[in-house]
């Protein structure tokens, strides 16, 4: 394990999953209460992102003539709002995850 392989705390499923690779290379960790608060905030933000995506995907202006979702238009609406709140990598990951849920892929 190297420092370049480490992820943000919220990317780990559990506190122990977050701690283990850091302990392995001699790094300290944030307290579990802070991890739990960050994880909760991240989950709540994704839920709001998902709710916004549902709204955008159901707007008539974001539909193709056949009634299917025009994901490019949805992406445009979503990016306009969310670009100031999350980084590009998180935006892409959340958009893909939320769109997959909407389309029933997950």
**Where do the structural domains in the chain lie, given as residue ranges?**
1-30, 41-106
Q: What is the pLDDT of residue 2?
A: 63
Q: What is the pLDDT of residue 77?
A: 96
Q: What is the pLDDT of residue 1?
A: 57
Q: What is the mean pLDDT of each run of 10 residues along the chain (106 residues)?
A: 79 96 94 97 97 96 95 97 94 96 81
Q: How far is CA 98 from CA 21, 28, 36, 72, 102, in A?
A: 29, 33, 23, 14, 6
Coil/strand/helix, residue 2? coil
Rounded to whole angstroms, the Cα distance separating 86 from 98 reads: 15
Which pTM does this prediction carry? Answer: 0.83
């Amino acid at each position: 394990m190297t420092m370049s392989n480490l992820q943000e705390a919220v990317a780990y499923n559990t506190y122990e999953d977050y701690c283990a690779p850091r302990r392995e290379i001699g790094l300290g960790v944030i307290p579990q209460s802070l991890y739990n608060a960050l994880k909760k905030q991240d989950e709540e933000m994704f839920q709001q992102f998902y709710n916004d995506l549902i709204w955008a995907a159901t707007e008539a202006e974001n539909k193709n003539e056949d009634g299917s979702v025009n994901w490019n238009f949805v992406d445009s609406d979503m990016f306009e709002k969310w670009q100031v709140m999350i980084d590009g990598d998180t935006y892409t990951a959340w958009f893909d995850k939320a769109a997959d849920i909407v389309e029933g892929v997950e």
